[in-house]
Copies of this chain bind each other. A is one copy, B any other.
Amino acid sequence: MANQYVSMDNIRFTMFDVHKIERLFELARFSEMDKNAVNMLLDSVKDFSDKELYPVFREMDEKPAYWKDGKIWVHPAIATVMHHAGEMGLIGASFDYEDGGMQFPLSVMSGADFILAAANNNLTGYPGLTSGAADLLVTFANQEIKDTYVPKMISGEWGGTMCLTEPQAGSSLSDITSSASPQEDGSFLIKGQKIFISGGDHEYCDNFVHLVLARIDGAPEGTRGISLFVVPKHRLKEDGSLEHNDVATAADFQKMGQKGYCTTHLAFGDKDDCRGWLVGEANKGLKQMFQMMNGARIAVGRDATGVASAAYYSSLQYAMERPQGRKLTSAGKKDPNQDQTLIINHPDVRRMLFLQKAIVEGAFSLIMEASVYKDLEDTAQGEEKAMYNMLLEILTPIVKTFPAEKGKEAVDNGLQILGGYGFTSDFVLQQYYRDVRIMAIYEGTTGIQSLDLLGRKITMENGKALKLLAKEVMATIEEASTFDDLKPYAEVLGKKLSQNQQVLNFLVPFAMKGDYERFLADATIFMEFFSIIVIGWQWLKMATIAKQALVTGNHSYTTDFLEGKLHTMKFYYKYEMPKTDGLSQIIMDPEVLTVIGDKELIA
């Protein structure tokens, strides 16, 4: 188990047994895929991660990316990962054949990318964002732009980024001021500052393809005046050579974690010579970008889960090797003549381990659920397509936020298991602790995700998405209830669904009255509340499949593995599910304490 960062058994169990991704391979789009190919892909990604990603993880932290002389200097492993990801076809794997892709389902890629993230979350963003940027071009750009950029991006030669944030407008994209002035040749002169641009520059790609949100001169105020541009670092000359496109790298933000993943400040058009080309429709930039954002949000959830997974196995290894203390005797004392016990035998340590396992595997299962919805949405038509879209929409903020928020808690518990050692640089836990912290900020903070969940997703089309989701949960409850020993947990989940309805019956009238501030004031608490139930659903689903396998004598997994699933489900229902009772009280408390009032009350 040395240096384990994921459980391949768990990945396979979640993909094939719980979420049954083989059913996707019956669809025309994915018909060239089969279980064997997926297993080979997962194995080769694991092998690559073992050899190239995991070994440099700590070094990337110790030698952070930095800015010098107008350039960003990064770890050479980035060359390896971009090259190899291109070679393995991972960057464009989910694209259509005609766009150079392999039409891999997202659910397959989510499994593969999860392994990469667990091995080294400082590296995955480089090919990951490149893939997302290329995906945007494939979807919205004209053929000329596609031909110019996409092949070089999916081969890993050119990097891709998304440039949203500006210094004066963090989460508030309506306040973007970067400008785009139309030129006679159909291009635009781009001018503006973009910050927090992940993977925005380094020496290991020949060019960078920035997807930039900016306003065309005279565009409307707010989000309705934002357009999307492709702005390369170097533009292509007629003869095919590259010339500088007036994109300057102004700085690299130094950070608490993910130090190997550069976070750049880019200045576009300081010399009035930065050209961009419109992608898709004018003034529809934000909507288009959001197609990528949804993918990016799932990716953040997956990365957060990956970090938590690696931290979990690291703390588990320590707990299984470290002798310390003794079991209590029936007099409540310790007998110093006994040998020390391994710390995994202390109930509090076991609790911290099971908590991590419950978070990691629960989150991974939810990611897989959302990935399957995405694949079904992509392949379905009409009403069915709309249904999967709704399910994906309501889950996305949770897929992003649960792993980010509870991932912090998981890693925190992992670190705690090591005691003082966990705080030292001698062990890796402290790096996971620092790295995972960004996940609740990336691609829309937890506050933003929570507003999205309650203010948009729960209420859209009169709560249709929620009704669809409830139906899915009910199906799991029904299936679990066929086993007598799962029935009590199925009943708990049913009650929590009703509790959610009660909470919404309290909240929604505020929105109906136009009191949106009040409606959304505790959106973050609602996110916490609702996520507990959603992950409870995933755990019941996993437990049901494990139970089926035990009953039918399915030998794909060991009995310990399957019993461990049941045990962890019980753990989740004992230690996490009851928390909804406190949280629902908070949300339904009539007292309003955060909406209005003097700032003087706080200071």
Contact = CB atoms under 8 A, between A and B. Distances in A.
A332 to B, nearest CB: 4
Interface stretch (A83-91, A377-385, A515-523): A515-523
A497 B563 CA distance: 39
Contacts of A600: 558, 560, 564
A316 B424 contact: no
Given A222-B334, A334-B174, A257 B581 contact: no
Interface in A328-345: 328-332, 334, 336-337, 340, 344-345
Contact of A1 (B516, B580, B603): B603
Contacts of A218: none
A9 B168 CA distance: 34
A594 B423 contact: no
Interface string A407-440: 0100010011001111111100010011001101
A347 B521 contact: yes
Contacts of A416: 440-441, 445-447
A263 B422 CA distance: 13
A574 interface: yes
Interface string A501-523: 00000000001001111011111
A204 interface: no
Given A340-B172, A516-B328, A593-B571, A422 B447 contact: no
A253 B578 CA distance: 40
B324 A172 contact: yes
Interface string A19-57: 000000000000000000000000000000000000000
Contact of A603 (B316, B581, B591, B597): B316
B419 A171 contact: yes
A336 B602 contact: no
A147 interface: no
A478 interface: no
Interface stretch (A269-277, A349-357, A548-556): A349-357
A594 B354 contact: yes
Nearest to A602: B353
Nearest to A597: B567
Contact of A324 (B170, B337, B519): B170
A175 interface: yes
A2 interface: no
Contact of A567 (B350, B440, B446, B593): B593
Contacts of A423: 255-257, 437-438, 441
A602 B344 contact: yes
Contacts of A349: 447
A337 B525 CA distance: 30
A186 interface: no
Contacts of A103: none
Given A351-B524, A450-B348, A419 B170 contact: yes
Contacts of A523: 348
A147 to B, nearest CB: 34
A61 to B, nearest CB: 11
Contacts of A170: 324, 419-421
A188 interface: no
B325 A256 contact: no
A589 interface: yes
A386 interface: no
Nearest to A451: B348
A152 interface: no
A196 interface: yes
A320 interface: yes
Given A332-B516, A434-B434, A578-B589, 19 more contacts: A169-B324, A170-B421, A171-B324, A174-B336, A253-B425, A255-B423, A316-B603, A328-B517, A330-B514, A345-B599, A347-B520, A348-B524, A351-B521, A354-B602, A357-B602, A419-B441, A578-B583, A579-B583, A581-B581
Interface of A: 1, 165, 168-172, 174-175, 195-196, 221-223, 253-257, 263, 316, 320, 323-332, 334, 336-337, 340, 344-351, 353-354, 357, 408, 412, 415-416, 419-426, 430, 433-434, 437-438, 440-441, 445-447, 450-451, 455, 511, 514-517, 519-525, 558, 560, 563-564, 567-568, 570-571, 574-575, 578-583, 585-586, 589, 591, 593-595, 597-603
